[in-house]
Every structure is written in C-alpha cells, then in structure tokens.
Structure 1
C-alpha cells in the first residue's frame, strides 16, 4: 500500500469496487427487495474469494493461495 493520500493507497480498493460494480450491476437497474441485493453481493464475494483465480496470486483463488502458505507458529516459546 502507498502512503496516505497517494494514488497507490486507493488503487486496490478502486479496482475491487470496479469489478464488483461491473459484474453485479451490469444490465440491472434495481433489485425488487433489499435482501436480494444483499444475497447477490454475498454470492459475488464468495465467488471472488473462493473460486476466482487471480493472476497476482499465480492463477489461484485467494483461499487456495492462503491455504498453500506455510502455517506460522502462533505461540511464543517459553523463556528458560
């Protein structure tokens, strides 16, 4: 991430928002109910995080990329 106020600071969020709008709003004017809009957003986010392959992650989904990382120790070793 860039420093606060730089163009790099917002680039990832803007790209994410553009993809979300393009893939969920294209050709749609409104949803009949708020619940349907929320479900559509949830479906898109689930697909984005579990099935969508990203070039930046070596053509893996975010979930697959994170699960491939080596687990790190979460506990501290005891002092002697």
Structure 2
C-alpha cells in the first residue's frame, strides 16, 4: 500500500500468490500504521479479483476506508505503484536469485523499511525520501 502524498510504502505483504488474504494483510498493516480517519481516506486499487472480492470490500468498509477503482484498462491510475514495482524489480529482485521465500520476504522488508522509505529520494518529492518528505510537511504544518 503506497501513500500517494509521500510515496511511502505503509503496508506490504508477501505470499506465493496474489490472493484476497494477501491484499487484506497489506491493507491491515497500512491501517495499523496510519490509523486513518473514518470515511476520509481513499484506498485506490485496480480491478483484480482480490480487490473486487467480498472479503476485501468488507475489510475496506470495516476500516472506514473509501474504495476507489479506475476504469478497466486504464494504465495511468496505477502509475505510481507501477513505478514502485519497477524500482523494486531493478534495485532488489533482479540483483540475485533467492533461495527461499523467507529469504526473499526478509530482503523485501529490509529494502522497503531500511532503504526505500527512509533514504530513496524521489524527484517528485523535491529529491527527498518519503520519510523526509513527511517530516518536512509535519514540521512546516504542525496542525496537521
């Protein structure tokens, strides 16, 4: 789950397949991390079956999140997360062969939490990392 404001990854999960449980787990992690205001936060997804499932919709509503989906076949509404996937593919996944799923999960966690969020700079964030961009916003707008 990517926060569009800062490009920070706020929820992630890994499994052998892209299932409803996988995306529900990632969403739950994001909700636990951010504690979003009820009916004030939008979670945008594509039209994959895991996002159109009854379970995902119920968990979305239970968390007080507003669901959003673009039109079918529209590549632009998910461009930000696709850019993230491309970066992770190039900077981590393609760098070696992974012996076990646990090894890969640990590497993904470390790449996101120890590199991407705190240090990887983005041109769209004035060359700041997601963590630094959020901190700059927090200190310049203390009421938010």
| Pair 28,62 (structure 1): closer, same or farther in 2 beyond 3 Å | same
Which ranges in structure 1 are unaligned for 5 or more consecutive residues?
74-80
**Which is strand-richer, 1 or 2?**
2
- SS of match in other structure, 1:53: coil
Once the two structures are superposed, what CA deviation does each residue of 1:46-67 show, in whole Å capped at 9, x if it has no partner? 2111011111111111111101
What is the root-mean-square deviation in Å for CA atoms of aligned residues? 1.9
Match of 2:111 in 1: 44
Which ranges in structure 2 are unaligned for 5 or more consecutive residues?
5-68
Q: TM-score, normalised by structure 2?
A: 0.44
Displacement of 1:27 in angstroms is 4.2
State the aligned residue count: 71
Q: TM-score, normalised by structure 1?
A: 0.74
Greater relative contact order structure (CA < 8 Å, 6+ sep): 2
**Partner of residue 81 from structure 2, selected from 10, 13, 21:** 13
**Partner of residue 32 from structure 1, selected from 96, 99, 103:** 99
| Pair 59,27 (structure 1): closer, same or farther in 2 beyond 3 Å | closer
Where do 4+ consecutive residues of structure 1 move more than 6 Å? none
Once the two structures are superposed, what CA deviation does each residue of 1:2-50 show, in whole Å capped at 9, x if it has no partner? x712332121111111111111122423x22222111110111021110
